Every structure is written in C-alpha cells, then in structure tokens.
Structure 1
Amino acid sequence: GAGAQSWALLGCLVRVLLWVASALLYFGSEQAARLLGSPCLRRLYHAWLAAVVIFGPLLQFHVNPRTIFASHGNFFNIKFVNSAWGWTCTFLGGFVLLVVFLATRRVAVTARHLSRLVVGAAVWRGAGRAFLLIEDLTGSCFEPLPQGLLLRELPDRRSCLAAGHQWRGYTVSSHTFLLTFCCLLMAEEAAVFAKYLAHGLPAGAPLRLVFLLNVLLLGLWNFLLLCTVIYFHQYTHKVVGAAVGTFAWYLTYGSWYHQPWSPGIPGHGLFPHPHSSHKHN
C-alpha cells in the first residue's frame, strides 16, 4: 500500500544520504591527508603561524572591537582556549591510538607513540610555571586607587594579592604559546595519515572521521590564535609566547624525537621500509 511505498522511499533516501556522506568523508579525508602530508606545505605552515603572530596585531585597527571574540569571557576563550591542551589530547590521542594500533597491532609501540602527548603535557606545565616565575621576578605590587595605581613595598605576589592589591610583571602570553605549540604538534602528527593511506592500511569511516575532527580542531586553533593576537595581550608578550611554543616544538619534534632513546617521530616504525620487499626477492 501507500504506507509500504513511503517506507521504501524513506529507506532509499536514507541510503542515498549515507552514500553521499560516506563519499564526502572519504574525499575530504583524502584531500586533507594529502595537504597535511606535504613537507613543503608544512614548512609554509610554520611561516604562516609566524606571520599571524607578527603581523596579526595590525588587524586590530581594522576590526570591530565590540565583537564577541574581543571579550575575555567569550565562549571560545573559556571553553576552548583555556583548555586547549585537553581538547588536543582528546582528539589527537584518539587519532594516534587508532593509526598506530591499526598499523602495528602492538600495544608497546602504541604506548610509545602516545607518550609524545605526555611529553607535550610536561612541556605545557613546565612553560606555565616558567611564565609565572618570570612574572614574579619582574613584578611589583600596586594598590588600585581612584587616582590610579600606588606602588606598595610587598615582596611577592602571594602577599600582594592577599592584601587585595595587584601584581604587575612581565607576562608571557600563555594562550599564544599553547595555541602555537598545539598547532605545530597537530600538524606534525596528522601528517602521518597521508603515508598511512598510501600503504593501504585499514582506513574505515571511523578513523577517517577522527582524522577530519583533528583537522577541524587544527583549523579552530588557527582561528583562535588569530583572534588572540588581535584582541588580547601586549605585542611582545604574544611574540615571546609564540617563539617559546615554536622552540618547544623544535626541541621535541625537530630534535629529540629523532633520537633512538626518544618516543620517536610520528610514523616511526609503522610502515615497512621502502627497500624491505626487495631484500626478500
């Protein structure tokens, strides 16, 4: 009857929509993997981040200062930037776990690759403590008055804040540091997917979806980094934060991870050596 035909038509429509969604997922993941897997484009990406931090603040003269992104209490600043490392670990950890385990089926190798995120967490914590130490060493205590700020002779931040005053020192932008470090880290980790696909390893819809979620998060970090350098912090504070983030990436991914006693670079030990097949012939 008419009811059966309606259900059949609905089922056909659902199958078409699923096919379109699957096609878009496969096409999008292939193109994103090709883009992130290009060494040339990754080098240009470093230049892009540097340009954003150095020249991005000039855009403050051409944007609306009342936009939601200019507020310290905006949704993105509270929910994403303040917890950027947690979001990065969640999304990127799932991607690394799937890629490494599907490629090797070895728990020890998977744990070794995931340990790069542990190192990243240590870098983030260490940098945060170092930034607070710099602010403590360079700061002074001020009492806010209707006429302005009055300098108070209090020895440290704790006693200053306990007295209800303000501590002013050199503040490295932790947001700029973290977003820069997360952008470089995610671009390096996600680049492995191009080689993974090229070797014909299992790449079903769940893995491709997780990969695209990481790509979207990387895009969000780039956008929020641009918003941060436009609306928040002083210029030198932002540049120093980004420089420290880049230096942290260089010490880990650019230097230490290439050593045998390190967690290894992304993709290390996952794929057969290109000449290995000839040795068996």
Structure 2
Amino acid sequence: MSTSKVRSRSTKRRNDEQQQTNVQNKITTNLSGEKILFPDEYSTKFSPAGIHVVFADTSSEEAFAAVTARGPIVFAGSSISTYGTQAACCQYQLPLSVEKKTNNHKSYMSVNMAALGVIVDKLVAFWKVPAARKKFPWIFLLITVLGSILKESELVPQTYFSSSKNVLNVYFVKVSWGWTLLLLTPFLLLSNSTIRRSYSFLGSRLLSLVVATFIWYVCTASFFYIEDVTGACFEDDALSIIKKDLTSKATCRQAGYRWQGYDISGHSFILSYSALLIMEETAPMAFLKTANLSALNKMVLNLLYMALNLIMIMWVWMFVCTSVYFHDPSHKLLGTTCGVLSWYITYRFWYLKSWSPGLPPQQQPKKQKQRA
C-alpha cells in the first residue's frame, strides 16, 4: 500500500474523530459569536440518519450558510421555538465510519440480549417441569450420601476444591446468604410488583425473605452452640492434650489451639437451603415471559434470573465438594436435613396456610390455595 493512501486514511480518521468530538462538545457559535449549549434532547439523539441538534439562531438562509461553512450541517426544516428562543432545526450528518460503529454497537447489544432471552426461556421451561422441582430437594440428600461414601473410601483424589481456601469458598460460600439475598431481593421486588401492583402482596413476598433469614440465623447459631457444648480444646491435631481452661471454640482458636466438637455442616445446610429458596422465589418468571414489559424491565429481569440460576449451580457444585471432601457423614447429613426440612416446613406446609406470607405466583395443584 502506498504511503499516500496510508496518509489519506489516517487524515480521514482524524477528521472523523474531530467531527465527532465537535458534536460531543455540544457547543457552537452563532453569528454574534455567542457560545450556545445544545439542548441534550437533540444533541444526544442518535439515529441512522445522524445526530439531531438545535442551533440557537434565526432561520434565515444566510445564518445557515455561515453554520454550514464550519462543517457538514444540512438544513432539515423550518424554524422551531425551543426554550422560548427562536431556533432552527438542523441535522448533523455523522461521518460514515462513526455511523457504522454506532450501528455495529447496537447490533452487538441486540444479539447479546437475544441470546440471553433464549437461555432464560430454556431455564424457565426446565423449572416449569413438575418432576424437576419435585426431585430437586432429594438430590441434596442423595449427594450427601454418595459424597460421604466416596470420602470415607478415599476414592476421590485431592483437587483445587479440596482446599477450603479455594476462591469459590472464600468469596462466595462463606457469605452465601449475602449473595443469595443480594440477587433475590431485587428480582423479588421487580417480578412481583409487575405481576400484581399491591403493597400488601409485595410485603408478603418480602416477609418470606425475612422468614428465611430468621431460619438461617437460628440454624447457624444452633450449630455453633452445639459445637461449643460438645467440644473440647486440644493443643494439636493428635488430640492428646486438653486445654481445660479454654471452654469455647472462639477462645480456643484464638489461642492457636484446635477445638474438637460435634460440627454440624453449615455448608450443607446453607447451600441446600439457598438453592431451594431460589427455586421457589424465581417461579414467577414463568408468568413474566408472556407479560407486557418495557425493554429495560425485561432486560433487568432476564439478567437477574440468569444470575440466580448461575449462583444456584455454584451452590450445588460447592455442595458436592463439601460432601466429597469435608466433615463426617453424620455432620453433613444433619446439615442437609436441616436445609431441606426448613424449605419443606415453609414452602410445602406453612406457606399454604392463610396466616402465612403465602407462596410466590406459580403453577400449583388445584387442591392448593395461594394467598393473594
């Protein structure tokens, strides 16, 4: 390629960038030399034809001739009145390269949103299958039993996830309840307010998260208490010398020793309970796929629903790792039972009663009654 052609393309690119900068600055000079700020409603409205701007000037052809001399401004119509000032409506024709870049960006976003919509449709279709929802709780009990067998028989080799310092455990599982609420709360607010515009209904749905948080707190606090009252402090892993003056896990570990007690698996509890909670509270998405939503609301709901399903998959995976690599079998079985039982008591018993927060909108057997 010749040097002149390269120089020509480079010059054209600089000119295009300069023209775009001029538009973004949103300032022009009228015949009197006064600086004028473009109204945002015109200066930021992109279309395939270009960007529409308004010059605070008269509508005379002489004025437009002066403006046109400074750049590719095209007279597009008669004068209009804006903000009490006589103004002329013009159209700034974007350079072709800039226009193409804008259109490519829009196409890229459209493709991404379409792909997200397809994935969400698949997930909604999966969770609408009664067998999937019915068998999901039993999967946790099955994983606990099989994982415990594999751990005790030492059939599974050590991996990155056999260390409690793996990234998913440190930054997600240890604060799993926070992650669950962080994603579930906005989804619950947006989805339920779209389905039924009632403060009492929305309040009842928020109350279900309060109940879930109370269950989480009581169970985890109970686990810590049981470990304290059933344990003792030892100087080393051999459990040979007991430090009788240290009577709690907190003081024992603070002194650099090891506490040995009945350690019910908090991971088995919180991961199973969080996953089951997400399954129940995301059920309204089946209705929202056919609802008349704005583009923004639809995008936000799709993103939240996708994120909740991803984090549910993460919880299941880390539940598997807990079952295979950590805790004694009875510790895991009791923790999992607490998680599944907490879900069952609320969503399969209490929430069917009229004096409860009620179930989220979902397809239910005819004999069940859903509270408004």
On whether the aligned pair clears a TM of 0.5, the verdict is: yes
Partner of 1:136: 228
Q: Residues 141, 75 of structure 1: CA spacing in aligned structure 2 closer, same or farther, 3 A cutoff? A: same
Distance apart, 1:160 and its partner CA? 6.4
**Counterparts of 1:238-257 in structure 2 under 5 Å?**
238-257=332-351
Any conservation in 2 of the 1:103–1:201 contact (CA below 8 Å)?
no
Distance apart, 1:7 and its partner CA? 2.3
Any conservation in 1 of the 2:228–2:249 contact (CA below 8 Å)?
no
The structure whose residues are more often helix, as a share, is 1
SS in 1 for 2:355: coil
Relative contact order, higher structure (CA 8 A, sep 6+)? 1
TM-score normalised according to structure 1 size: 0.85
Distance 1:152 1:16 in 2: 68
Give 2:126's aligned amino acid.
Answer: L
Consecutive unaligned residues in structure 1, runs of 5 or more = 269-281
Distance apart, 1:157 and its partner CA? 1.8
Consecutive unaligned residues in structure 2, runs of 5 or more = 1-11, 17-94, 363-372
Q: Please tell me whether Structure 1 or Structure 2 has the larger radius of gyration of its CA atoms.
A: 2
The structure whose residues are more often strand, as a share, is 2
**Counterparts of 1:77-116 in structure 2 under 5 Å?**
77-116=169-208
Any conservation in 2 of the 1:53–1:238 contact (CA below 8 Å)?
yes
Distance apart, 1:6 and its partner CA? 2.5
Q: CA RMSD in A?
A: 2.4
1:40 is aligned to 2:131: yes
Distance apart, 1:62 and its partner CA? 4.9
Distance 2:319 2:211 in 1: 22
Partner of 1:233: 327
Q: Which is further off, 71-80 or 169-178?
A: 71-80
Q: Give deviations 1:100-131, integer Å, cap 9, x for gaps.
A: 11122223321210111111111111001111
Distance 2:104 2:182 in 1: 34
Distance apart, 1:164 and its partner CA? 5.7
Give me the identity figure in percent: 29
Any conservation in 2 of the 1:154–1:160 contact (CA below 8 Å)?
no
Give 1:134's aligned amino acid.
Answer: I
**Counterparts of 1:1-281 in structure 2 under 5 Å?**
3=16, 4-60=95-151, 61-65=154-158, 67-144=159-236, 148-154=239-245, 156-157=247-248, 161=252, 165-198=257-290, 200-202=291-293, 204-267=298-361
Give 1:230's aligned amino acid.
Answer: V
Distance apart, 1:153 and its partner CA? 4.2
Distance 2:250 2:181 in 1: 36
